[in-house]
Chains A and B, each alone.
Chain A
Amino acid sequence: MANHNVFREDHIRSPLAHSWFLYQQNTIGMVALWALIFILILTVIGPWIAPYPMDHKDVSALLKAPSWVEHGEVHFFLGTDDLGRDLLSQIIYGAQLTFGGAFLTVFLALVIGSVIGIIGGMSSGMQASVLHHFLDTLLSIPSLLLAIIIISVLGPGYFNTLLAVFLALLPLFTRAVYRAVHDELNKEYIIALRLDGATPLRILRYGILPNIVETFVSQTTRALTSAILDITALGFLGLGAQRPLPEWGTMLSDTMELVFLAPWTVTLPGLAILITILIINIVGEGLRQAILKGMD
């Protein structure tokens, strides 16, 4: 059949589909997205593909250099630390603890924070104003400090770290969503929807949510970055995950004294943290830009 639509846009994309189309034109963004997917997969299947068990120590191979350096061996691809633990395996397991933990925490904070934020944003009067002032107070404390305060009450440990990071992130999401919903409610197209006789749920579904996707994306990016930094920082300070758990920050603090003797034991977990955060921010910023551009 002949194609009559040569000169027309062959189908009309929704603004979000258009944003995705724009994002696909962004090469660096796409590379970073694939890298992020790779990290995600690694996080999920890590235990099955890591060359050695988590607590495997090879006393005959202490402080082996990475395989591409002289004296390096291929079956310890990234080298070993002072107890003969394979760094590649440690970093793969660590992805689950650092990235996976941050991901789950952010996801939970996103869901619960959004629900509170939406309820607060849709309601008005006393309730909303109390919530607003309460959140403002909480948010004036930096998240790491808040996490340290919570840890000092709960005691150190990996699970408590996640709990502390979750509690520190919750007001962040709540406030951002609250603000976005509140701003959105005063827009004329929402008023028009209300005049059509729409229920609050319908206004939320068709009016508000599609228009605050940008808030969700930028908040999730920021929260993921800050969650990873907080988890690793607490691990580094000895307040978070404890050895033998190979959390990236814990690994860093564990090998700090080896920095001259075996620099790779410090550099590699450090690089893992850096690259993960970089990738998250490239993807997040790219998505945000694409969503904003997709609007017009």
Chain B
Amino acid sequence: MIPVLSVNKLSKSYVQHHGLFSKKAITAFAPVSFELEQGKTLAIVGESGSGKSSLAKALTGVITPSSGSICIDGVNMADKDHKQRCCQIRMIFQDPTTSLNPRSQIGRILKSPLLLNTELSEQEMDIRVSDALRQVGLLTEHAQFYPRMLSSGQKQRVALARALILKPKIIVADEVLATLDVSVRSQIINLILDVQREQNISFIMVAHNLGIVRHISDEIIVMHEGHIVEFGPTADVLDNPQHTITQRLLMNQQVQFRK
């Protein structure tokens, strides 16, 4: 089966300017390569600072990678602009309170990708918006709301709707569950699993909680200091960790569970 996403030797180093002329490069992640099949979920785990967010951002085009290629269905996306990318790959940010414009109605937030990337009429866009809202368990009336009127769980649903509305092949989610409380978290997880089953979307989830990772993901990448130290089917990696970093992550969380 042909993978929907294949990442080849992708790397990113940030250039920091000190004063006018001197600069320093910080490696966020070293060249990494991996593939993802359609409808599968890939989890990325690792300590903080290991380059997970940078990888997620480079995949979706928030930052430009320093080298390497990102192929979706065989087309290299690395040098494409946002317009060409966003119908293929979309991002959900960690904190829904900062990723929704406080001055825009939910309807307009959801309409903006349609307006910019499709030729739909005003009416068709309204229908797509209310469909998307209902798909994530909200009401059509929520289109008139402003973000401040929603709870954080509802906001994260809106963020998911924004990611889904262009019917992309891949959705990248950077620690979307971290800011939600436990009950809301399981609702969102189930929502994601439902959506994935219906539309056969591939997910890349940056996550922290290995219990959740085991539940939702098919494959897992363990990162440490910008390198992939382990990559494989989730069950295999978590049941039989080869690398000390993976073992340490598992141990940390087991200690937490016992407490």
Contact = CB atoms under 8 A, between A and B. Distances in A.
A190 B101 CA distance: 8
A194 B148 CA distance: 22
B82 A206 contact: no
Contacts of A15: 102-103, 146, 148
B241 interface: no
A211 B101 contact: yes
B62 interface: yes
Contact of B81 (A189, A190, A197): A197
Contacts of A296: 148
Interface residues of A, number: 24
A197 B99 contact: no
Interface string A175-194: 00000000000011111111
A206 B105 CA distance: 11
Contact of A192 (B20, B99, B117): B99
B103 A196 contact: no
Main secondary structure of the interface of A (DSSP, over half): helix
Interface string B88-105: 001101010011111111
Question: Among A15, A193, A196, A296, which residue has the most Cβ atoms of chain B within 10 A?
Answer: A196
Nearest to B147: A189
A195 interface: yes
B50 interface: no
Interface string A1-40: 0000000000010111000000000000000000000000
Contact of B90 (A193, A195, A206): A195
5 contacts: A12-B149, A195-B86, A196-B82, A196-B117, A198-B116
Interface of A: 12, 14-16, 129, 187-198, 202, 206-207, 210-211, 295-296
Q: 3 closest pairs, A vs B, by CB?
A: A197-B83, A210-B103, A188-B99
